[in-house]
């Protein structure tokens, strides 16, 4: 276990790397923590099954999704938004404590997230460059947790276009996008299949924690 410094000012953990103001904590979760988080997620998707949201431009998303928390992220022909219910009609399950604990460690905030968006990538899935801007208050960060196969994470700028930088996110890595980086464009270009044994069928899970309202 690496020696991790607590920042006296905010109580938030000091990251291993900062790229374009995006903080990266490498392997914050060890194997055991990753495995128990996956067990918790199995229970969530049993209650709130993964689905492929329709985009406003008429193509289903390549990534399969579900959510936990008071709100879940949703998309259809009318646009992107947060919904208090799964498309099947039931409330989203609560965010597991194992996941809330990561938010607490990396943000040091007393406000807890309202939504944990669960994204599942198979070997061919990707996610185009986007901003996370469906939330009411951009002063709260978005925290992401990666589990399973490596994903190539691309970071751009606060407006579309311009030079980008990429880094591989591995299982157990945690990213914090806050402050000046909160509205940076980002996406996943590709998955490196077979790089993790965490998920028996392979693939990558990314969890994003957000304060919604």
Q: Is 192 helix (H, G, I), strand (E, B) or coil?
A: strand
Q: How far is the CB of 8 from ligand MD6 (least distance, A)?
A: 26
Q: Which of 101, 171, 184 is nearest to 141 (CA)?
A: 184
Residue 206 partner contact from Fe ion, ligand MD6, none using kind-dependent CB cut-offs of 5 to 8 Å:
ligand MD6
Q: Which stretch binds Fe ion (CB under 5 A): 62-70, 102-110, 125-133, 164-172?
A: 125-133
Residue 151 partner contact from Fe ion, ligand MD6, none using kind-dependent CB cut-offs of 5 to 8 Å:
ligand MD6
Q: Which stretch binds Fe ion (CB under 5 A): 17-25, 38-46, 56-64, 128-136?
A: 128-136
Residue 67 partner contact from Fe ion, ligand MD6, none using kind-dependent CB cut-offs of 5 to 8 Å:
none
Q: What share of the chain is helix, strand, coil (3-state, %, to 5)?
A: 15, 35, 50
Residue indicated by tokens 């669960």: 118
Q: How far is the CB of 171 from ligand MD6 (least distance, A)?
A: 12
Instruction: Give 18 or 91: the residue with its C-beta nearer to ligand MD6.
Output: 18
Where do the DSSP E strands lie in the chain? Answer: 17-19, 22-25, 64-69, 72-76, 79-83, 115-121, 127-130, 142-148, 150-155, 165-169, 174-177, 186-192, 204-210
Q: What does the binding site for Fe ion look like in residue numbers (CB under 5 A)? A: 132
């Amino acid at each position: 276990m690496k020696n991790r410094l607590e920042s006296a000012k905010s109580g938030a953990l000091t990251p291993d790397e900062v790229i374009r103001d995006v903080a990266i904590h490498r392997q914050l979760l060890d194997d055991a923590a990753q495995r128990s988080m996956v067990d918790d997620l199995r229970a969530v998707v049993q209650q709130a099954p993964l689905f492929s949201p329709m985009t406003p431009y008429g193509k289903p998303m390549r990534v399969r999704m579900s959510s936990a928390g008071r709100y879940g992220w949703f998309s259809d022909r009318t646009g992107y938004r947060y919904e208090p219910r799964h498309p099947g009609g039931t409330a989203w399950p609560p965010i597991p404590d194992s996941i809330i604990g990561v938010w607490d460690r990396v943000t040091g905030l007393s406000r807890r997230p309202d939504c944990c968006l669960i994204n599942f990538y198979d070997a061919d899935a990707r996610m185009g460059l986007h901003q996370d801007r469906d939330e009411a208050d951009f002063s709260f960060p978005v925290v992401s947790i990666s589990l399973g196969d490596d994903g190539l994470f691309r970071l751009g700028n606060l407006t579309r276009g311009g030079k980008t930088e990429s880094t591989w996110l591995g299982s157990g890595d945690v990213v914090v996008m806050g402050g000046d980086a909160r509205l940076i464009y980002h996406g996943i270009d590709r998955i490196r299949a077979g790089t993790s044994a965490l998920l028996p069928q392979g693939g990558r899970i990314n969890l994003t924690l957000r304060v919604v309202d």
